[in-house]
Structure 1
Amino acid sequence: MASTLITHIGELATNDPERPGTLGAVTDAALVIEGRTVAWVGPAASAPSPDSVDSVVSVAGRAVIPGFVDSHSHLVFAGDRAAEFEARMSGTPYAAGGIRTTVAATRAATDEQLTAHVGRLVQEMQRQGTTTMEIKSGYGLTARDEARSLAVARQFTDETTFLGAHVVPSGPDGEPGDPTAYVELVTGPMLEAAAPHARWIDVFCERGAFDADQARTILAAGARAGLRGRLHANQLGPGPGVRLAAELGLVAVDHCTYLDDADVAALADSGTVATLLPGVEFSTRQPYPDARRLLDAGVRVALASDCNPGSCFTSSLPFCLALAVREMGMTPAEALRAATAGGAAALGRTDVGRLTPGSVADLVVLDAPDHRHLAYRPGVPLVAAVWRSGRPLGPTAGGV
């Protein structure tokens, strides 16, 4: 089993709860990788001898952080909605109906075209420091197209989510679809086709999509099929989704833009992770979620990209992190933790999103002395190198 000592780390963000501070940071640090996992972490002065490892890498005072964990993305699609974005920037409000445009393009695409497109987006994410990503279906909305979307996603990650309950598709002549019949399809033949390729099931619980009773029915069917539940909720306005997620003890509920005191209390009491997606608000000009309110109430918070062709076509978690600091009341350390350990918690994982002995050796070398530069220098490609499962993916910005 090959071993590597990474040394001369200016600041190492470990997310170790046993170490002080939001990030459990160690200055003048080093770490040892054995195989695909972290074997040792601590001050460089106390590191194992270089003679005891197979290779030594100096990062010359740069910061090292855990790889980003993007717990919410929609990468399996075809086409784009740039015209919709342009219209929105000119004053047309965002609504969920634009999803149907992408559905038509995705159904028409071949498996090979979808796979190539997802591969390009995954590489884009990795170049920006994302080492674990969740990928949803939701642009097929037939049993066949949802299953093949998930089969494509499964080539890139085990964190795949069945989102057949994205919207109710239109009828063959463009007439409104039948919600009751569609829920029966989602919980029957579509779920049967999709479940072998998925770990999670999700529902867009929102006006223009699915109500609380429909969401409850779909999540219950998913649970019987062995899929863990999550929800899109409270994105477009107040609604019952966040409290439903808390009531059901879901691992995570995503968006959480419009919350009242009862929603916040329910999240704090349940332990359900509130996944915030500031790229959406940037792209739709809706109000940003109040992360400060959630953190002060003791709610666990994650940050994710929600990369999708309609409401948020960014794959950059560093960009989302900078938005969270600028617009949502988070400190740079809180935002970094939310995009790493927070994202891992939203996926029910403790093996990623941290750099502690036994964790997967997913790490990012920043071309900066500490984590604050991620928000301090927004839009600047600070990712110098990315390691995934103990192996470098290659130099990106500064190179090491």
Structure 2
Amino acid sequence: MTSTVITGISSLTTNDPAHDRGRSGILEDAWIVVDDVSGLVIDVGTGPAPEADERRDVGGRAVIPGFVDSHTHLVFGGDRSAEFAARMAGAPYAAGGIATTVAATTAATTDDLTCRTRELWQRARRGGTTTVEIKSGYALDAAGEERLLQIAGDVTEERTYLGAHVVPVSYAGRTDDYVHLVCGEMLRRCAPYARWIDAFCEVGAFDAEQCRAVLEAGAAAGLGGRLHANQLGPGPGVQLAVEMGCASADHCTYLTDDDIAALASGTTVATFLPATDFSTRQPYPDARRAIDAGVTVALASNCNPGSSFTTSMSFVIALAVRDLRMTIDEAIWAATAGGAAALRRTDVGRLAPGSRADVVVLDAPAPIHLVYRPGEPLIDTVVVAGSS
């Protein structure tokens, strides 16, 4: 076994509640030892650093776990900047714009989509993201959805089948027939390439019973559940996600007291996507109320061309602290351990013995600088499984 010890860490966020500062487990003047062969964390601590084969001093910088971005749509073609410009001029956001991306994605070659997905993933990696989930949903036919999931597999194992994104034009007025396709032939082709299944539970997309059918079919095929819920207004999505045991309910922009009570009593993570609310001028969710009620929360980018074209989790964290009223410790936890919880992963999102050594060195002495200096390039080094 060969090992590397990283020293000179001003602030080390471990997300290990065994350490001080609650579940964030923040250690000051810290060190971390990594097994270079397995890519796992061996130990963390403060005081004199132990011996190791290699030593690296980060010079008083802060270290956090790699971001776990648990909600993205990275495989897509085309551009919706004109739609964004119209929205900034006052046009409302609506789910129907997805059809524009479906057309562009269908027209794109597999090589072009693969190249673009890799480019977006590398951009996310440079920004500190070390684990990413990617959804399909921009083809809406069996062969196309299968193709998108295969492309996503080039960069991640966390793939989500989202055939129930919107109803394609060819099925206008026949939503139940399309749901039958999503739960039948399309699912059979896509399930081998996915870990998760998702649906867009929203006016203009799919109602609760249609989403229930999708989630049940996915579960029968061995896929875990996720759900787009309560983005454009109050609705049944959040409580359906909890009832169905989904790993996450995503967006959660509009939460009633009953929604919050359901989330607090279950295992479903509320994943907030504040860059989407920024881009669409929707209200920001009341994360403070959810956290105070005991809801487990995550933060994710929702990178997509229509409503959140960013891979920057640093930007998401800045929005969460300023506009969702989260503390910096809560936001960092939600963007790392919270994202891991939303993917039901225990090996990422923390820096503790046995976890994967996904280490992000900030060009700053403390994580608050991600909010205090928004837009600055403060990601100094990104290490994934012990390798940079």
Tell me the residue number matched to 2:7: 7
Paired residue type of 1:326: R
- Pairs within 5 Å for 1:1-400: 1-22=1-22, 23-34=24-35, 35=37, 36-45=39-48, 47-49=49-51, 53-171=52-170, 176-392=172-388
**Between 108-117 and 81-90, the greater mean CA deviation after superposition:** 108-117
Give the letter for the 2:334 counterpart.
A
Name the SS for the 1:60 alignment partner. Answer: strand
| Counterpart residue identity of residue 116, structure 2 | H
Deviation at 1:178, TM superposition (A): 1.5
**Alpha-carbon distance between aligned partners in 2 of 1:315 and 1:13, rounded to the nearest angstrom:** 22
Q: Determine the C-alpha separation between the residues in 1 that align with 2:322 and 2:269.
A: 21
Paired position in structure 2 for 1:397: none
1:44, CA displacement in angstroms?
Answer: 3.9
Identity percentage over the alignment?
62
Partner SS, residue 156 of structure 1: coil
Give, in whole Å, the separation in 2 of the partners of 1:177 and 1:154: 33
Matched to 1:129, the amino acid is G
Question: What root-mean-square deviation, in Å, do the aligned CA atoms of Structure 1 and Structure 2 show?
Answer: 0.9
| SS of residue paired to 2:33 | strand
1:177 Cα deviation from its structure 2 partner? 4.9
Q: Residues 299-339 of structure 1, C-alpha deviation per residue, up to 9 Å, x if partnerless?
A: 00000000000011011000000000000110111100000
Offset of residue 19 of structure 1: 1.5
Q: Deviations over 1:122-168 (max 9, x none)?
A: 00100100000000000010000000000000110000000000000
Contact kept? 2:191, 2:223, Cα under 8 Å: yes
State the one-letter code of the partner of 2:145. E
Shift of residue 376 of structure 1? 1.0
- AA aligned opposite 2:17: P
After TM superposition, where is structure 1 displaced by more than 6 Å over at least 4 residues in a row? none
Question: Which secondary structure does the structure 2 equivalent of 1:61 belong to?
Answer: strand
Identify if the C-alpha distance between structure 1 residues 190 and 177 changes in structure 2 by more than 3 Å, giving closer, same or farther.
farther
CA shift at 1:20, angstroms? 2.4
Give, in whole Å, the separation in 1 of the partners of 2:317 and 2:219.
32
Q: Structure 2, unaligned stretches of length 5 or more?
A: none
Cα displacement (A) at 1:2: 2.9
Q: Distance in 2 between matches of 1:288 and 1:20?
A: 31
User: What is the rounded CA distance, in whole Å, between the counterparts of 2:18 and 2:197 in structure 1?
Assistant: 33
TM-score (norm 1): 0.95
Q: Secondary structure at the match of 2:314?
A: helix
Letter in 1 for 2:192: P
Matched letter for residue 107 of structure 2? A
Alpha-carbon spacing, 1:107–1:177, altered in 2? closer, same or farther (3 Å)? farther
Q: Is the 8 A contact 2:20 2:27 kept in 1?
A: no
- Contact kept, 8 Å, 2:318 with 2:370, in 1: the verdict is yes
Tell me which amino acid in the other structure corresponds to 1:138. Answer: G
Q: Distance in 2 between matches of 1:75 and 1:108?
A: 16
Q: Cα offset for 1:290?
A: 0.5
* Residue type of the alignment partner of 1:349: R
Letter in 2 for 1:30: W
The whole-number CA distance in structure 1 between the counterparts of 2:134 and 2:211 is 20
2:169 is paired with a residue of what secondary structure? Answer: coil
Distance 2:102 2:202 in 1: 18
1:238-289, Cα deviation, whole Å (9 max, x unpaired): 1000000111121110000011100000000012100000000100001001
Q: Distance in 2 between matches of 1:204 and 1:20?
A: 40
Partner of 1:114, secondary structure, is: helix
Letter in 1 for 2:284: Y
CA distance, structure 1, for counterparts of residue 246 and residue 221 of structure 2: 16
- In structure 1, C-alpha distance between the alignment counterparts of 2:11 and 2:324, rounded to whole Å: 25
Q: Is the 8 A contact 1:8 1:44 kept in 2?
A: no
Matches of 1:231 and 1:250, distance apart in 2: 7
Q: How far, CA to CA, are the matches of 2:327 and 2:284 in structure 1?
A: 15
> Cα offset for 1:293?
0.3
Q: Give SS of 2:60's match.
A: coil
Choose 17-26 or 344-353, whichever is displaced more.
17-26
Counterpart CA distance in 1 for 2:59 and 2:377 is: 18
**Length-normalised TM-score, structure 2:** 0.98
Take 2:173 and 2:221, find their aligned partners in 1: how far apart are those partners?
25
Q: What is the aligned length?
A: 385
Q: 2: CA distance between counterparts of 1:135 and 1:177? A: 29
Between the aligned partners of 1:350 and 1:138, the Cα distance in structure 2 is 27
